[in-house]
Amino acid sequence: MRIIGGSLRGRRLVDWEESGIRPVRDFVRSALFNIVSDFVPGAACLDLCAGTGSLGLEALSRGARKCLFVDHAREACAIIRRNAEALDLLDECEVFEGDVVAAIDRFGRRGRRFDLVFIDPPYGLDLVAPTLEALGDGRAFTDDPVVVVATRWEEGAGESFGGLVRVEERRYGDNRLDFYRRSASPSACVGENPR
C-alpha cells in the first residue's frame, strides 16, 4: 500500500500486511480524497479506528496541517508511528491508543477541534453509529467539519446523529463512503469548502 497523492505520492506504507488490519483500498481512498480535496489543505484531521493510518497520512501528504490518530489496538498504533516516522511526519502526527468513543469525549472536553474526521472501523463490529453519536454533540469540531465514514455497503449508518447530517453517500463495489456535515453548514454538499 502506498500514498497515492500529494507531496509523498508513491511512498510505501510499512508493516501492515502481517497485522491483519484492513486498510482502505487505493481506489476508494483516491475517490474519497477527490471528493474532500477542498477541505484538506491546512486541516486539523482526526483519524478514528485508524488501523495503518492510511487516511490521515494521505491527508497530511495532501496538505493537512496535523492529524491525530486513534485506535484501540496497540499493534495498530505502533504501525501508525512507524509509518509516520518512515514518511518523516512525526511532527504532524499524534497517536492515541484507546477506545474511540472515550477519546472523542476526552478531546471535546479538552478543547481539541478538528476540521476533517475519518472513521474506518473494522467490519462487522457495529462501531459506526456509536462513533457518530459521540461526534454528534459537536464539541470536537471546528465550525464547518466534514466527517467521512468508510465501511462495507451494507454497514451504512443513519441519516443524522445529533448535529451531524449525512449529505452524500457513494458506493464503490462493496465499499461505501458516507459524508456528514453539521446540520447548520452553509453548504449541503461536500465538494466545495466555503473557507
Domains and CATH numbers, the chain: 6-182 (3.40.50.150)
Instruction: Give exposure, 36-66, as e/b (b: 16+ Cβ within 10 Å).
Output: beebbeebbbbbbbbbbbbbbbbbbbbebeb
pLDDT value at position 168?
A: 93
pLDDT value at position 188?
A: 47
User: Residue 25 is placed in which grid cell?
Assistant: 483500498
pLDDT value at position 195?
A: 43
What is the CA 154 to chain-centroid distance, rounded?
19
**Regions of the chain with pLDDT less than 70:** 15-23, 124, 184-195
The partner residues of 168 in beta bridges, in order of sequence, read: 179
pLDDT value at position 146?
A: 96
CA distance 114 to 122: 22
pLDDT value at position 189?
A: 56
CA distance 126 to 156: 10
pLDDT value at position 107?
A: 92
